[in-house]
Structure 1
């Protein structure tokens, strides 16, 4: 893997006249990516973060001041934050923008998609104060932009088109109302913002390739990706291994606590997913659709078109297909489910809209937007084939385990595990770029790569041991994430969303989450991750150049090389982002700005700490930047401290 990854980041062998030092040559030739094209210029949007709408974006939004919470704007500026992904990832899988606009006191509940409550749990209106308008007020204050993740489970293509209209259409009476019906631009104006927000980048779905986020879609991955792309139907039963309660009946935004009969007249419930398809809805694409099977206390009840013609003892129910509503009788027209009676329904959901439907509807409102697929995997590229699409949103994560069968990993073992995995995301990006190129030989028509989340996912070891608290904040993780950024630059990624924007508040400082772009409130301190990633800031606007290394050692007993690097060249000089992944060895390097003008000055900026487990919080900030003036010359020598991220700037 080390050899493959080295090739992907342009590190072929080169002559080195200084044994004992790693030679790094930065050519003026473009960096040629895996698909044979030159890497594009580095954009400001590589400094992005995944926001999470819940609880005023975990304290980043101050509703009383209608602006950023104290310290947030300054911390975001220091982190050079340029892009926020809203309303987030897993937590936003069921987000409904229509319930998150207008006066806060009049907003509705939301359904949890993840960490904010048990999956499918109710999130009351009181937690729904950070809607699209608040997000835009926040990013305006920061001088940043928003990209929007559109949920793909409880929303239709029409809903997504309404969202685009709300954010992007002009407020001009009835002259511009692309969808007909509600003029969402006028709703936005009534909510206090007549001018369009102009959101350019949108994403459809969040991690649908994961079984825990497939929801209504099929368990079979091959069928699931086709349902993601083209929409479809899927039978919901009690036997699903992931969603055992898909046969339940629910109410409101709470889709986790299945309901039993209350004994009251006119009981009304909903299915977990909608719409509900009936046999008469069958098409050639769907195949036969079975009738829903609803039971009360284990006894099947019959579906009728109207309860009005039912007798007092008729065990029947009425179905509202569009919203999946189930209505029982009142004792006069239809029987009443008894108090405590178990309620169950097996049904087919569909037809659900897919990626193609969403893109078409959204671009009918605003043809200038970019819509990325949230299925950032090879199977999407293969299933989509030559059909055009704008971009693919990749989630670059590796699993980090807390230990093995012998118990918890030591800090050294955690570090080596992390570094051995750190070339994988770069390889994945390169392979995806090649896969896309096979379907789109013309580079001008080739979908773009975006990374809409990246980081690590901590997993318990076999004995249940977890990674240490704030593992994702530690210096070892900073080295890992800077390595990932180098791979993103080398693979032409035009925006990169780090996971996540900030941790949530906690009365106990020891329990706050510092493993994000910004720290937890209050204060939102600058994390080592921000200090490391923003070393790349001087590269913004320049195209990556070809970088080659020689005498770059593979770490003994491991599977990775010590040094990884990316570079740009401008009229003023060379900007080299370089990481030393060696745990305990400094790496002397010689930088050769091949065929460039004379180097008149050189500076090295380093982010590290002697302790690989060190991280910044509100008690201490051990991970900091240090600057070293280097001797200029035809070639420039420097030393990279162990486990460090560095920027070397050579000025002509």
Structure 2
């Protein structure tokens, strides 16, 4: 039975629905004048579902440059011990590299070895694909950070400029034993050892691309706003495309596409995959220059260049060996670009892993998302899983990843700028339901169209980024201004806890929030930015409380909520207040997570475990602040950044079935240990 209440918490006249519908894992705010039956959380320990693990409490790091927002310490050439310790405390079980949108043009071969000798990198999410400010935090440094945190490693391989051979070589560099050379050519494990890392890094989780269906990330797959069907076909099958007089970027900076008149200039292809057997036509201004195999043999006026196909670079002379392009002249190239697509990348990576003798999982990242209230039948269309099945490759991938962000701009519109924190709180909870719907729809699609691979394992679904943001950069005034630091608030922590539980209930194997650390002055990440001392956020405390829930060896336990009240938000919809999930740990303990999403009122509920007799002592871990809009900023008790959000632990004596009052805007983990 649902009990409907208004956003003020008062029971709405005529709005009580006497329909006996158990709400699996959810609930809403009770009125201060509670007159109906309290919700009951039922937990059936005899009904164990599937294994859980720390990788379901993971996090993305949104970019690698700027030392990954300070995660890497250049002075010690090691992870910052304070941030690593805090990530461990928060229970981060898997860490993603090199990031999301900014990493769309990342080149791993330029990010290994001596940092002083590394090449430049292009940033994927700036208008002109400018060069990264530094390149010190590469695959090896990422692995050291993950190891220091105790987290599994997850790598996103960009599809824009990484070939199947590049992707397979990356697997070899990260996972092969020294002295082996599974693919011939460069022995990448020996290269890694030469960089000071004799032992393999052991990366199991891989993705191909980040969000290839989204605007700004299509690259050669297709234009923004174009039909997604053609873009999906290129993502899967690859493409051969003519690139006519495209600009080359000086030192990876595509805001600088002309000569600066200096010696030895290097210009980079945006997509450096030149079709084998063909050569580019390179022009300086209107003059066509000639490729040479050795600049050292050229004269001072010879209009020649050297071409590094593997690195995607054109190098000009120094005025002694080869002419220097005239300052201000544009440098362009015409060439045939060839990329073999997801299928070829997947096959190459899996083949290398098989030769190494390690098991890796390689995910597609094609999972279109849509605005809230879109017909669910349109979500995830066009479907990667269906397209692969049509090609006879229903077993040709291990998993499909989705980024089910609540995008307030997309889902509610800029006209819905928040009038205050309560407005923002409600939009978070309404958005949570839609994000869960997108993940559920994707999982149903993958289950319907995939077949087990040669190893007998079925394809599964992952979430490699999630969160709730306005994505309203450049909009003035910011539509979130009336809920300051909402992304660091207790409200956001309630949203993230709900997301973890919803996706776990669907047996999503890998769940990663965004992001571990953001910009120096930002509070939108698991840890605050550098200027806030990497403060432990409401989300971080929530993760810490939930860490035992996902401990190795735990199993999901069937649970549901009866008589779960729902909160009605005028003209927008409704959402349940309580969200719950249960697990049985390897230590024999039953753990129940309860998220009370009522902003201002506590919620009394009955807790009824069956198939499990507990000791009578209930361990309670509670995360909350002084208010739903409280957040931590490390500056003291100035509201709402009052640094009041924290984790408290206590014990209470309870009968087998018991009542408990869950505080307003809180995440509670109840631990019941077996009785005699």
TM-score bracket, normalised by the shorter chain, equals: 0.7 to 0.9
Partner of residue 429, structure 1:
439
**Equivalences for residues 500-649 of structure 1 within 5 A:** 500-505=515-520, 512-521=521-530, 523-540=533-550, 541-557=553-569, 558-570=573-585, 572-620=588-636, 621-649=643-671
> Given the superposition, is the C-alpha separation of residues 315 and 186 from structure 1 closer, same or farther in structure 2, using an over 3 Å criterion?
closer
Residue 448 of structure 1 contacts residue 494 of structure 1 at CA under 8 Å; is this kept in 2?
yes
**Equivalences for residues 388-427 of structure 1 within 5 A:** 388-401=396-409, 404-405=414-415, 408-427=418-437
Partner of residue 103, structure 2:
92
- CA deviation after TM superposition for structure 1 residue 410, in Å: 1.3
Matched, 1:447 2:462: no
- CA deviation after TM superposition for structure 1 residue 29, in Å: 4.6
Normalised by the length of structure 2, the TM-score is 0.79
Q: What is the RMSD computed on CA atoms of the aligned residues?
A: 3.9
Aligned partner of residue 159 in structure 2, secondary structure = coil
Partner of residue 500, structure 2:
485
Normalised by the length of structure 1, the TM-score is 0.81
- CA deviation after TM superposition for structure 1 residue 343, in Å: 5.9
- Write the distance in 1 (CA, Å) between the matches of 2:563 and 2:84: 44
**Equivalences for residues 112-261 of structure 1 within 5 A:** 112-114=123-125, 119-124=128-133, 127-172=134-179, 176-219=180-223, 220-234=227-241, 247-259=246-258
Give deviations 1:204-250, integer Å, cap 9, x for gaps. Answer: 1111111111112112311111211121134557xxxxxxxx93233
- Write the distance in 2 (CA, Å) between the matches of 1:65 and 1:335: 42
> Given the superposition, is the C-alpha separation of residues 349 and 412 from structure 1 closer, same or farther in structure 2, using an over 3 Å criterion?
farther
> Given the superposition, is the C-alpha separation of residues 85 and 302 from structure 1 closer, same or farther in structure 2, using an over 3 Å criterion?
same
Deviates more, 1:444-453 or 1:517-526: 517-526
Partner of residue 53, structure 2:
43
Matched, 1:274 2:272: yes
Choose from 5, 8, 22 the match for 2:39.
22
> Given the superposition, is the C-alpha separation of residues 593 and 325 from structure 1 closer, same or farther in structure 2, using an over 3 Å criterion?
closer
- CA deviation after TM superposition for structure 1 residue 433, in Å: 1.7
> Given the superposition, is the C-alpha separation of residues 270 and 102 from structure 1 closer, same or farther in structure 2, using an over 3 Å criterion?
closer
Residue 605 of structure 1 contacts residue 646 of structure 1 at CA under 8 Å; is this kept in 2?
yes
> Given the superposition, is the C-alpha separation of residues 397 and 186 from structure 1 closer, same or farther in structure 2, using an over 3 Å criterion?
same
Residue 46 of structure 2 contacts residue 610 of structure 2 at CA under 8 Å; is this kept in 1?
no
Matched, 1:83 2:94: yes
Matched, 1:369 2:364: no
> Given the superposition, is the C-alpha separation of residues 119 and 583 from structure 1 closer, same or farther in structure 2, using an over 3 Å criterion?
farther
Aligned partner of residue 422 in structure 1, secondary structure = helix
Partner of residue 341, structure 2:
354
> Given the superposition, is the C-alpha separation of residues 253 and 649 from structure 1 closer, same or farther in structure 2, using an over 3 Å criterion?
same
- Write the distance in 2 (CA, Å) between the matches of 1:135 and 1:293: 38
**Equivalences for residues 291-302 of structure 1 within 5 A:** none
Matched, 1:382 2:386: yes
Residue 162 of structure 1 contacts residue 184 of structure 1 at CA under 8 Å; is this kept in 2?
yes
Matched, 1:465 2:456: no
Residue 8 of structure 1 contacts residue 430 of structure 1 at CA under 8 Å; is this kept in 2?
no
> Given the superposition, is the C-alpha separation of residues 404 and 7 from structure 1 closer, same or farther in structure 2, using an over 3 Å criterion?
farther
- CA deviation after TM superposition for structure 1 residue 637, in Å: 0.6
Give deviations 1:487-511, integer Å, cap 9, x for gaps. Answer: 1210112222221111343xxxxxx
- Write the distance in 2 (CA, Å) between the matches of 1:187 and 1:248: 33
Aligned partner of residue 460 in structure 1, secondary structure = coil
Q: How many residues align?
A: 600
| Structure 1 spans left out of the alignment, 5+ residues | 13-17, 32-37, 238-245, 282-290, 309-313, 506-511
Residue 400 of structure 2 contacts residue 446 of structure 2 at CA under 8 Å; is this kept in 1?
no
> Given the superposition, is the C-alpha separation of residues 476 and 195 from structure 1 closer, same or farther in structure 2, using an over 3 Å criterion?
same
- Write the distance in 2 (CA, Å) between the matches of 1:252 and 1:414: 43
- CA deviation after TM superposition for structure 1 residue 265, in Å: 11
> Given the superposition, is the C-alpha separation of residues 406 and 488 from structure 1 closer, same or farther in structure 2, using an over 3 Å criterion?
closer
Aligned partner of residue 582 in structure 1, secondary structure = coil
Residue 608 of structure 1 contacts residue 623 of structure 1 at CA under 8 Å; is this kept in 2?
yes
> Given the superposition, is the C-alpha separation of residues 165 and 416 from structure 1 closer, same or farther in structure 2, using an over 3 Å criterion?
same
